[in-house]
Chain A
């Protein structure tokens, strides 16, 4: 129970290295709000990508709207490049049930038909409820269903992972 979470900065460095050989300067990154956006900003810089960075908020596409209503803080999605025929990597902090990724892919297709979509996640905690897999991960790390892994950012921009109680999202 007491195994400590890995260091987010180490995982980010590892994730960048794993992606490096598999992206071109034309690969487009899209960060999923909020943790995924922080990671995507760092990866975008580390990998020296040419396409402007995209951000996506999946609130309008979530499958739990009927039971939980609209998320109280929706941020605008911003896709500043042509999605049609683009080579896209979605970036999220924690890959869990796969429902967020499903929602993000549905939203992306309302912008156009991409050439391909791959997925990069800092942590894969297992527990998938949909047939979704990441092409790039920082690490696998399983925690009980009652706990949540959260990515945080300090004022200086340093990323860290914390475990919180409460049901899964």
Chain B
């Protein structure tokens, strides 16, 4: 059976990273293993390797981002690439240029790679379909669809602390409905063989078909967090909400905000993750965010190594 996967070239090698869905297990593991080697580069006096010298990487952000854009920029610079940051919301697009025209113009400036964030699901796919074959595209978040590098850095974080995926219970908590991060995490966890993935949230913030992804659905934190090894909190995405899905942020915190009391239901050595930016006091209490089980800041550091791995694998598959 051959399913056309726009991320893979004719040899089955990764040429774009658009989504974790359908990404072969071996490719995910190769990215994690490569990232592991890049981690030690970040601990050296000179944190650079020469792999992408002479390559031009365009950070195309049609939607605001600090952490993701910055870590992509650092990753590219540590690979010795030239990085050009474009906040497109404030430039040509507002003058009426189409997405593909913007990309065509940047390609004429000899771009080798695009890192794309866009509020429309499928934007990175569209670009990947229209660029020359030697140009690589990384999806840095598209609408509610996918955020593959975040999903992969989360897998890296879990493996770093838990070593094996095969015996884990992982809970993803909060606004799954609007979360491209959650979708990428669920696909990655399933592909890597995590036997039990749970989602916890109010009915209004869980997609109606979420159980089709192979996850267990909980509406209550006490039972949902029982004996889990990993707790992944999601940001409450106010800016993506249409209509009254929630009575109030305070109400949400009361039932789904991660407090030390709720966390006590998880295993004693459970780790707490969050993709950022955090809403303290809404989805997570400060004492947990800054507590001994929190690995939220290591996630950011690992994100650089994972993005270096993705960029160097893509650019090497000419």
Contacts and interface: CB of A to CB of B under 8 A. Distances in A.
A74 interface: yes
A68 B51 CA distance: 12
Nearest to A77: B40
Nearest to B39: A76
Contact of B37 (A77, A106, A110, A111): A77
Interface string B33-57: 1101111110011101111000000
Nearest to B312: A70
Nearest to B26: A72
A74 B49 CA distance: 14
B37 A69 contact: no
Contacts of A70: 34, 51, 312-313, 316
B316 A110 contact: no
10 contacts: A60-B49, A65-B51, A67-B318, A70-B312, A70-B313, A74-B34, A76-B39, A77-B40, A110-B46, A111-B46
Contacts of A65: 51, 316
B33 A106 contact: no
B156 to A, nearest CB: 13
Contact of A57 (B37, B39, B313): B37
A116 B316 CA distance: 33
B129 interface: no
Contacts of A25: none
B48 to A, nearest CB: 7
Contacts of A74: 33-34, 37
B160 interface: no
Interface of B: 13, 30, 33-34, 36-41, 44-46, 48-51, 312-313, 316-318
Interface of A: 57, 59-61, 65-70, 72-78, 106-107, 110-112
B318 A66 contact: yes
A69 B39 contact: no
Contacts of A61: 49-50
Contacts, number: 50
Contacts of B34: 70, 74
B44 A111 contact: yes
Chain B facing A: main interface SS: helix
B45 A112 contact: yes
Contacts of B313: 69-70
A150 B45 CA distance: 34
B55 to A, nearest CB: 10
A86 to B, nearest CB: 13
A111 B40 contact: no
B30 A69 contact: no
A74 B36 CA distance: 9
B48 A110 contact: yes
A128 B291 CA distance: 56
Nearest to B41: A60
Contact of A110 (B30, B45, B317): B45
B30 A60 contact: no
Nearest to A110: B46
A111 B45 CA distance: 6
Contacts of A57: 37
B269 to A, nearest CB: 25
A99 B257 CA distance: 56
B25 to A, nearest CB: 14
Contacts of B44: 110-111
A69 B318 CA distance: 7
B37 A76 contact: yes
B30 A72 contact: yes
A69 B34 CA distance: 13
Q: Which of A60, A61, A107 has the most CB of B within 10 A?
A: A60
